[in-house]
């Protein structure tokens, strides 16, 4: 599969509207894709073992999307083979009073993965150039030196934050963190269908909030905010992937295969033992075999 068509170019040669929401590549149905997803899950599990053992690199996966695009289900299915001891999922909601007393990256910095681990951000610091851009009144509670909620909407805060984010991601990359950023690109029509399903299915009622419908009114504003974020933060070290999300099963295949391919490109391998460590293995084996003799 050619993943380059899902890559948001750093030269800004594409717009968000240029990316498909309903691509299925060569797969005709879920049944034809099950084996591909199973293989991706298995390979990710294998690579995680090596990542954990080598203890030099870490992986940070960021999921951003409009509501009902499938972030939770993607995390659930793609990471189904992962060892929980080496993986942590953080869902970022509205910041707490303590978090508002710190710079906006602070709460995300604390959640970045340790060496050998996988960290998953369900939403992230990108909310600070997305939801706050669509709803600038939120800025009033952030205790900034300038009250940007009263400044013209084209103020320089967004450029400052894009720069902060790029520097932060470069810092993480320089210290061994592979960053994969996925925007799950669902259409407005498919989002509506999923919202209605949540309303009509009693087992999914808990997922629905009338706030979801209110936010649909800002669909174009959100897409503009996403596009501007991609223009400024899809970099060589931390590019954005825009994944078709109208078919969840296909979305999960693409995400799993990109993760496997990018992790494999690091050339990670199990640690090579020193001669002393090999000697200790032989000693341990001998002691075990001599037990009870």
Which of 133-142, 222-231, 232-241 is predicted least confidently?
133-142
Query: What is the mean pLDDT of the segment spanning 60-89?
Result: 94
Which is the CATH superfamily of the domain at 3-290?
P-loop containing nucleotide triphosphate hydrolases (3.40.50.300)
Give DSSP secondary structure letters for 86-155: GEEEEE--S--HHHHTS-TTHHHHTTSPPTT-EEEEES-GGGGGTHHHHSGGGGGGS--SS-GGGS-TT-
What is the Cα–Cα distance from 86 to 54, expressed in whole angstroms?
12
pLDDT of residue 152: 59
pLDDT of the residue at 154: 59
Give strand ranges (E) for 17-101: 58-65, 87-91
DSSP secondary-structure letter at 13?
-
**75 in helix, strand or coil?**
helix
pTM: 0.93
Give tens-digit pLDDT for 274-293: 999 999 999 999 999 998 66
Task: Give yes or no for a contact between 290 and 211, defined as CB atoms under 8 angstroms apart.
Answer: no
Task: Report the pLDDT averaged over residues 248-252.
Answer: 93
If you average pLDDT over residues 118-125, what whole number do you get? Answer: 97
Using pLDDT thresholds of 50, 70 and 90, give the confidence band for residue 155: low
61 confidence band (pLDDT: 50, 70, 90) = very high
Predicted pLDDT at 146: 83
pLDDT band at 35 (very low <50, low <70, confident <90, very high): confident
* Selected residue with higher pLDDT from 242 and 4: 242
The average pLDDT across 158-173 equals 97
Quote the CA–CA distance of 239 and 241 in Å, as a whole number: 7
pLDDT tens column, 169-212: 999 999 999 999 999 999 999 999 999 999 998 888 888 888 88
| Share of residues in the chain with pLDDT > 90 (%) | 76
What is the domain partition of the chain in residue ranges?
3-290
Q: What is the pLDDT of residue 151?
A: 65
pLDDT for 153 equals 57
């Amino acid at each position: 599969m050619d993943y380059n068509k899902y890559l948001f170019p750093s030269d800004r040669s594409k717009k968000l509207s240029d990316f498909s929401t309903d691509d299925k590549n060569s797969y005709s149905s879920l049944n034809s894709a099950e084996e591909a997803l199973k293989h991706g899950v298995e390979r990710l599990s294998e690579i995680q073992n090596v990542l954990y053992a080598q203890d030099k690199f870490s992986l940070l996966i960021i999921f951003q999307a409009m509501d009902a695009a499938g972030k939770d289900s993607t995390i659930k299915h793609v990471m189904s083979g992962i060892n929980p001891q080496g993986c942590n999922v953080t869902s970022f909601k509205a910041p707490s009073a303590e978090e508002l007393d710190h710079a906006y990256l602070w709460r995300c910095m604390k959640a970045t993965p340790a060496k050998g681990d996988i960290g998953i951000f369900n939403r992230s610091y990108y909310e600070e150039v997305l939801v706050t851009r669509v709803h600038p009144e939120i800025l009033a509670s952030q205790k900034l030196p300038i009250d940007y909620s009263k400044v013209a909407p084209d103020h320089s805060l967004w450029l400052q934050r894009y720069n902060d984010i790029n520097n932060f991601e470069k810092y993480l990359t320089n210290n061994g963190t592979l960053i994969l950023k996925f925007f799950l690109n669902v259409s407005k029509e498919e989002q509506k269908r999923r919202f209605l399903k949540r309303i009509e299915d009693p087992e999914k009622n808990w997922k629905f909030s009338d706030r979801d419908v209110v936010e649909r009114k800002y669909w174009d504003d959100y897409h503009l905010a996403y596009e501007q974020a991609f223009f400024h933060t899809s970099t060589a070290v931390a590019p954005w992937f825009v994944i078709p999300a109208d078919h969840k099963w296909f979305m999960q295949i693409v995400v799993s295969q990109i993760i496997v391919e990018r992790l494999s490109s690091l050339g990670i391998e199990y640690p090579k033992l020193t001669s002393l460590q090999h000697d200790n293995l032989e000693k341990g084996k001998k002691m075990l075999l001599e037990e009870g003799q």
